[in-house]
């Protein structure tokens, strides 16, 4: 085997590792190093023999390799996820092969011999980018699920805003009234109209501090499956802080 062929095998194996990792992420599976390594080695080995096939045979063999690799990557085997995994793996694999073909077309055979120093870091960076993008999409989806439209009414003041169901908020006022935490802007509006309940101690990553608490006449949770839900006997703490994308930290006990 000459050096040029060895380079092709290395690049194909790197492309396969990238495709395998990306396919598992996109189909909501954690990357599995042993399974990705098996797929990478299998594609590298296949690359040794593909050049001896005719065009149709090579296409059929490549399709079979996609199915075999998907079988290796999918622990459960079968079902819609397997079909999606096969399709996604094939798409990423063809993208990787397209990048390798581009390298070959712009470089001479002699220069191409050094291409693993380009291709392997490229696939490593591309794989990391896919992983980060997937994590961001999952986090945004989870965040949207926890966002709640609501209305706060206190002493003639009504504030329409967004709340966030926070499993870490287990605050109760005098051990019986659930507490919600308001950002500075919303808290100041409520403070100007509501009856003061007293002082609460808030504990967060930044430490512990005191804040003013107020009685909320009505907390209306908008758009539930059975329509709006009206809650009374709720206390709001003015956190005097800013939240990202919402105004109220909701106590999860309120959704029961």
CATH of 146-255, one of 3.40.50.720, 2.40.70.10, 3.60.10.10, 1.10.3720.10: 2.40.70.10
Task: State residue 141's pLDDT score.
Answer: 77
- Mean pLDDT, the chain, rounded, equals 82
pLDDT in tens, 171-217: 888 878 888 888 888 888 888 888 888 888 777 656 677 888 888 88
The answer for residues whose C-beta is within 8 angstroms of residue 221's C-beta and 6 or more apart is 148, 149, 150, 228, 229, 230, 231, 254, 255
Q: Give the model confidence (pLDDT) of 54-90 as tens digits.
A: 778 888 888 888 888 888 888 776 677 788 888 888 8
Specify the residue for token string 């070959």.
104
In the prediction, which pLDDT does 127 show? 84
Q: Where are the alpha helices (DSSP H) in the chain?
A: 3-26, 33-50, 55-73, 79-106, 109-112, 116-145, 184-193
pLDDT at position 77 is 64
- Model's pTM, two decimal places? 0.54
- Would you list the domain boundaries of the chain? 3-143, 146-255
Per residue in 218-247, pLDDT (tens digit) is 898 887 666 788 888 888 888 777 777 888
pLDDT of residue 206: 60
Residue 159 has phi, psi (to 5 degrees) of -125, 120
pLDDT tops 70 at residue 254: yes
């Amino acid at each position: 085997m000459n050096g040029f062929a060895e380079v092709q095998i290395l690049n194909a194996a790197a492309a396969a590792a990238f495709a395998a990792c990306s396919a598992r992420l996109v189909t909501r599976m954690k990357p599995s190093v042993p399974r990705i390594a098996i797929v990478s080695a299998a594609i590298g080995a296949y690359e040794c023999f593909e050049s001896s096939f005719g065009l149709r045979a090579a296409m059929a063999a490549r399709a079979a390799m996609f199915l075999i690799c998907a079988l290796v990557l999918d622990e459960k085997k079968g079902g819609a996820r397997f079909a999606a995994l096969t399709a996604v793996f094939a798409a990423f694999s063809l993208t990787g092969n397209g990048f390798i073909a581009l390298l070959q077309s712009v470089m001479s055979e002699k220069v191409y011999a050094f291409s693993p120093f380009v291709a392997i870091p490229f696939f490593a960076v591309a794989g990391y980018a896919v992983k980060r993008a997937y994590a961001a999409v999952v986090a945004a989806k989870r965040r949207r699920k926890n966002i709640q439209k609501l209305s706060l009414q206190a002493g003639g003041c009504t504030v329409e805003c967004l709340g966030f169901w926070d499993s870490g908020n287990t605050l109760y006022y005098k051990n019986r009234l659930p507490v919600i935490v308001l950002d500075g802007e919303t808290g100041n509006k409520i403070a100007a109209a509501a009856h003061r309940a007293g002082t609460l101690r808030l504990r967060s990553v930044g430490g512990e501090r005191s804040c003013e608490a107020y009685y909320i006449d009505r907390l209306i949770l908008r758009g539930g499956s059975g329509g709006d839900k009206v809650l009374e006997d709720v206390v709001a703490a003015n956190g005097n802080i800013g939240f990202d994308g919402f105004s109220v930290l909701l106590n999860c006990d309120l959704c029961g």
